[in-house]
Amino acid sequence: MNKTDQAMARIDSRMRQAFVHTVGQALDTDPRLAVVTAVISSSSFDQARQRHPGRVIDVGIREQCLIGVAGGLALTGMRPVVHSYAPFLVERPFEQIKLDLGHQDVGAVLVSIGGSYDDPVWRRTHQAPGDVALLDTLPGWTVHVPGHPDEVEPLLRSALAADGRAYVRLSSRTNASPLTGRSGFHVVKQGRSGVLLAVGPTLDAALRATEQTDMTVLYAATVRPFDEAGLRSAVLAADRADVIVVEPYLAGTSAHLVSAALSDIPHRIRLLGVRRDVEIRAYGDPADHDALHGLDAASIRALVRTERH
């Protein structure tokens, strides 16, 4: 087994399986679709490649080319689905994303695996906590962060059916149960002493952290566009305009959007996510990294208790 196969065996997850299955089916019914890979997950589309040899393309280990090919396909009217680890999909070819997709104003669906640190044995090269923040520097992106495998298909199908630029951030980390079928932020728990917004796979830890509190807990699987109305409604219904944002990527990524949504409401924001002040140079497992970054239930609970006093 080569290194790529070993990596995929470790990171293979139900979310990734749902992605492969959904796109494989969609290729059979939508002639606009094309899949573009750069070795990662290429073999997962072998059957689809046999059925649609001209629409399942692997470019080798050439991530800039990956996006360039997608841009070219989009210019011909195709709907490219582009896939790799988050750092190889967003960070390494970011200039091509900016120019070949954004500047040319063409659409594509970027689907990543790896999250911020799902596979820490490969260390920093396979980690991308800044991916959503990077895409925030470009206009016109829809960003989905599913928290359960059953959320992948509906989010992905909505992205495939659209024409714009979408990023679907898959992870091997999941919540126990899915929340699907509605757009915007979901009210998972109603309370009066502030609002906690949990993004994607952070929901279960957030619920454990707030189970003895009277806080409202909102859940977001689609973070761009940002549901300003949903956040405002939850804050206005509470006795305290205190907002805690728990994101599975760079801490503070959504701070500017929370502030904009509440610009006319005196409020306080606390931001949890991957730390900006330190780079973790250790292996461990994802749960160890959660604890180091304050994204485990105990750390969130400690912050909630501090905010209540």
The C-alpha atoms of residue 62 and residue 42 are separated, in whole angstroms, by 13
Res 196: pLDDT: 98
The C-alpha atoms of residue 116 and residue 259 are separated, in whole angstroms, by 24
The C-alpha atoms of residue 302 and residue 272 are separated, in whole angstroms, by 12
Please check whether residue 223 is in contact with residue 250, taking contact to mean a CB–CB distance below 8 angstroms.
no
> What tens digit of pLDDT does each residue of 107-153 get?
999 999 999 999 888 888 999 999 999 999 999 999 999 999 999 99
Burial class (CB in 10 A: 0-12, 13-18, 19+), 5: exposed
Residues in the chain, how many? 309
Please check whether residue 280 is in contact with residue 289, taking contact to mean a CB–CB distance below 8 angstroms.
yes
Is the model's pLDDT at 2 over the cut of 70? no
8-state DSSP, 139: T
Res 12: pLDDT: 54
Tell me the torsion sign for CA atoms 185, 188, 191, 195. Answer: negative
> What tens digit of pLDDT does each residue of 157-210 get?
999 999 999 999 999 999 999 996 567 899 999 999 999 999 999 999 999 999
> What tens digit of pLDDT does each residue of 273-291 get?
999 998 888 889 999 999 9
The C-alpha atoms of residue 152 and residue 228 are separated, in whole angstroms, by 23
Res 4: pLDDT: 46
Res 10: pLDDT: 47
pTM above 0.75, yes or no: yes
